Amino acid sequence: MTRSAVMTIEGPCAELRLCQEPCNEIGSEMLLALEDALDRLGNSDARALVIHSDRRGFSAGAHLRELHSAIVDRAPDDYGPDLRSFIERVHAVMDRLDMLPLTTIGAIHGPCLGGGFELALTCDVLVADRTARFCLPELRLGIIPAFGGIPRLRRELPNGVIRDLLLTGRSLGAKRAWELGLVSQLVARGQALSAARACARQAALFVPSVRREAKRFIKPLPVEELARERAMFLRMSRDVHFKAALAEFVARSDPMPYQPLAVPMGGRDGARRGEEEAT
C-alpha cells in the first residue's frame, strides 16, 4: 500500500508530505497515516513542522467516494455509529495538529477544498503560492464542513466572509486570502514549500517553552463549537439529501468532481468567475 502521508524529521524541523492519489483525499488511509505521523512527531525533538503536498493541489477534501461506498446500501441507524467513530477520529487528529507544542506551517498550492481546507486551518501559519484556492463546498452535499472548519475559520476571518464561503460555495483565490489575513505569505507559483521551510527554520530558533505558552495564549481550541459542529453534521448525515448528493458526486465523470457545481449569479456574462471566486 502506498503511504498517504510521510513524516521526515531533520534536526529541529519536521515535514509532513501528503502524497495520496489523486489529490490527498482524507479517508481511512490518510487518517491512519496522519495518526502514525503524529505519534512519530510526538517522540521527536522537532520545534517546527511544515505540512505540504506533492500532488497537484494541497487536498481535495474528504474521500467522498469512500464515504459513499460505506453508506450507500445502509440505513442511517446502521451506518451512523461508524460515521460517528470516523468523525471523532478525524477531529482528534485535527485537534492534535492544532494544539501541537511547536510551530506548524502549511505550504499551500492548487486546490485546498473542504476537508483539505479544514486541515490547513489547523496550521499556525499558511504560506500559499498564487495557484492556491480555498473553498468549502459541503453545502451542496446537504451537510456542513465536518472536520472542524467553521470554528477554526472563525478564529481567522470576519463572519461575513465565512458566510460567503459557506453559503455560496465560492472560493477564495490566494491573493484575496492573503489580503484577508488568512494567508501569511503569498509567493510565486511553486515557491510555497521553500518559503515555508524558511519560516520553519526561523520559528525553530525560539525557546520551546516560550513558544508553547505564546501559542496556547493566542490560539485557543474552540472545544464547544467543535462539539456542536460534530453533532450538527451527524444529524444532517441522516437526511436523504445527503445520500442523493453523494451519489451525484460519484456519478460525475469530469476531472475535478470535487469542485462546486456552477450556479449562475447575476446573469451569464462572467458568471463562472463570479460563482466560483469570492472577491
The string of pLDDT tens digits covering residues 186-229 is 999 999 999 999 999 999 999 999 999 999 999 999 999 999 99
Full-model pTM: 0.91
C-beta atoms surrounding 276 within 10 Å: 21
DSSP letter (8 states) at residue 62: B
Active-site residue 181, yes or no? no
Residue 3: pLDDT band (50, 70, 90) is confident
Q: Is residue 146 over pLDDT 60?
A: yes
Q: pLDDT by residue (tens digit) across 23-35?
A: 999 999 999 999 9
Give me the percent of the chain exceeding a pLDDT of 90.
85
Active-site residue 62, yes or no? yes
Q: Is residue 262 over pLDDT 80?
A: no
Instruction: Return the pLDDT at 161.
Output: 95
Distance CA 24, CA 4 (A): 7
Among residues 118, 229, 275, 276, the one annotated as catalytic is 118
Residues in the chain: 279
Q: pLDDT by residue (tens digit) across 54-95?
A: 999 999 999 999 999 999 999 999 999 999 999 999 999 999
Among residues 62, 132, 146, 278, the one annotated as catalytic is 62
Grid coordinates representing 239?
A: 437526511
- The strand ranges marked E within the chain are 5-10, 13-18, 48-53, 103-108, 111-113, 125-129, 133-135, 171-173, 185-187
Q: Cell 465560492 appears where? A: 170
Q: Is residue 259 over pLDDT 80?
A: no
* Domains observed in the chain: 5-251 (3.90.226.10)
Q: Is residue 136 over pLDDT 80?
A: yes
Instruction: Return the pLDDT at 267.
Output: 35
Of residues 251 and 151, which shows the higher confidence score? 151
In degrees rounded to 5, what are phi and psi of residue 194? -65, -40
Active-site residue 200, yes or no? no
Q: How do beta strands 125-129 and 111-113 pair?
A: unpaired
Q: How do beta strands 111-113 and 133-135 pair?
A: parallel
Active-site residue 138, yes or no? yes
Among residues 37, 48, 110, 138, the one annotated as catalytic is 138
Among residues 61, 115, 149, 169, the one annotated as catalytic is 115
Q: Is residue 266 over pLDDT 80?
A: no
Instruction: Return the pLDDT at 264.
Output: 33
Average pLDDT of the chain is: 91
The answer to whether the CB of 16 falls within 8 A of the CB of 7 is yes
Distance CA 98, CA 233 (A): 20
Distance CA 123, CA 145 (A): 17
